[in-house]
Structure 1
Amino acid sequence: MTLPPTRWELGGQANDGYGRKFAELVASGEDVDGEARLADTLLPRHGRVLDIGSGMGRVAAALSVRGHHVVAVEPDATLAEQSRRTYPDLEVLPLDARSLDPDALAGHGSPTSYDLVVLVGNVMVFLADGTEREVLERVRSLLAPGGRVLVGFHLRGGPPTARAYPVEEFVADVGASGLRVDLRAGSYELHPPDDGYGVWVLSRDDAPHVMTSLGHPNPIGATDG
């Protein structure tokens, strides 16, 4: 079956600056681990992570260094090759978010369920038109018991080829896909929500809430593992 082109694929040469930008940041010693630090707090020790749209590999590599078992998925051959050059110990699977399922992952010798699925760096706003719910449903099917999803994308001022994805539309797609919002923030450092960038922690809609000592749901309840 031929899949419709993603907004990333339709971007063509307009995408070239992404990998170059982060390569320069990594080479200069800039802090590019914000997403990975938050992801680490959502995981048990030696957790299983699926990084969808892993790009040039910076988040997946940072989580691997922290001791997690990370499966990086990146269909863009140029970015995957850059990832292999920058982080040679990180395996990158040439899979697309729209075709991810247990069979596809098992075919590469990878786990079929995960403690955390990562969709950061504007992955959701670069999907093919109309496939957002399908991708979220696939993500739900890959969550281990208690597993969560970390999502982040620009609400305004993002890449020119990315779609506008209003908060209310995204939240509706989350609910229709069998997931729920446990947390919304404005950054990976958990600043208050704003209209510039959105960060969400999601879980299955049938998963129990973790309660704090105050009796409120704890959306990012840390483990003692």
Structure 2
Amino acid sequence: DAMLPRGARVLDAGAGMGRIGAHLQAQGHRVVAAEPDPTLVEQARRSYPDLQVLPLEILAITPEALAESGAPEEFDLVVCVGNVLTFVAEDTEVAVLERLGSLLAPGGRILVGFHLAGGPASARSYSPEEFVRDATAAGLRVDHRFGGYDLRPVDDQYAVWILRRA
């Protein structure tokens, strides 16, 4: 929320049960949540009935799909947190990052966060070096990297990046 003016357009990509998107919506932003897991989509819709939740995986979030649902086609902020990138299909990381970047409005940013160690047992390992290489290949640049959402210094446990188009 601190990164945005009131009323900003936000995409919560890989929204899970919708908690982050619902919080940002409560702060006055226009939020669209996208989540491919049907169980989590239903949970989000039950828990946050005012949150627009689209049953889409990241690569299916296209301007056409957004327009069909009455959602904005570009966003001031794309949130992709909670280890989402460690669960995308292997070797799709660059395509996923390209898609997220393609949905940015001019001046828009992407907020990405995931565990480097101690994350979910089913998550893949994704090193900072691999991530930066993939982000660069996707036409993005790293503006900032932190060790957490509280902006603590970089560590080897968790990583938060703020990206924008290169």
TM-score by length of 1: 0.73
Q: Shift in Å at residue 164 of structure 1?
A: 0.2
Matches within 5 A, 1:195-206: 195-205=156-166
Is 2:52 the counterpart of 1:91?
Answer: yes
- Which sections of structure 1, spanning at least 5 residues, go unmatched? 1-39, 206-225
- Which sections of structure 2, spanning at least 5 residues, go unmatched? none
How many residues of Structure 1 are paired with residues of Structure 2 in the alignment?
Answer: 166
The secondary structure found in structure 1 opposite 2:36 is: coil
AA partner of residue 55 (structure 2): P
Q: Give the structure 1 partner of residue 88 of structure 2.
A: 127
Matches within 5 A, 1:74-223: 74-205=35-166
Mapped to 2, the partners of 1:44 and 1:179 lie a distance apart of 22
For residues 122-152 of structure 1, what are the alpha-carbon distances to aligned partners after superposition, in whole Å with 9 as ceiling and x for unaligned? Answer: 0000000100000110111110000000000
Is 2:14 the counterpart of 1:53?
Answer: yes
AA partner of residue 47 (structure 2): T
Deviant stretches of 4+, over 2 Å: none
For residues 78-134 of structure 1, what are the alpha-carbon distances to aligned partners after superposition, in whole Å with 9 as ceiling and x for unaligned? Answer: 111111121121121011112221111111111110000000010000000100000
Mapped to 2, the partners of 1:132 and 1:183 lie a distance apart of 19
Root mean square deviation, CA, Å: 0.7
Identity %: 61
AA partner of residue 159 (structure 1): P
The secondary structure found in structure 2 opposite 1:60 is: helix
TM-score by length of 2: 0.98
Q: Give the structure 2 partner of residue 31 of structure 1.
A: none
Q: Shift in Å at residue 202 of structure 1?
A: 0.4
Mapped to 1, the partners of 2:52 and 2:77 lie a distance apart of 18
Mapped to 2, the partners of 1:88 and 1:165 lie a distance apart of 34
For residues 137-175 of structure 1, what are the alpha-carbon distances to aligned partners after superposition, in whole Å with 9 as ceiling and x for unaligned? Answer: 011111000000000000011111110000000000010
More helix by share: 1
Q: Give the structure 2 partner of residue 36 of structure 1.
A: none
Mapped to 1, the partners of 2:163 and 2:39 lie a distance apart of 30
More strand by share: 2
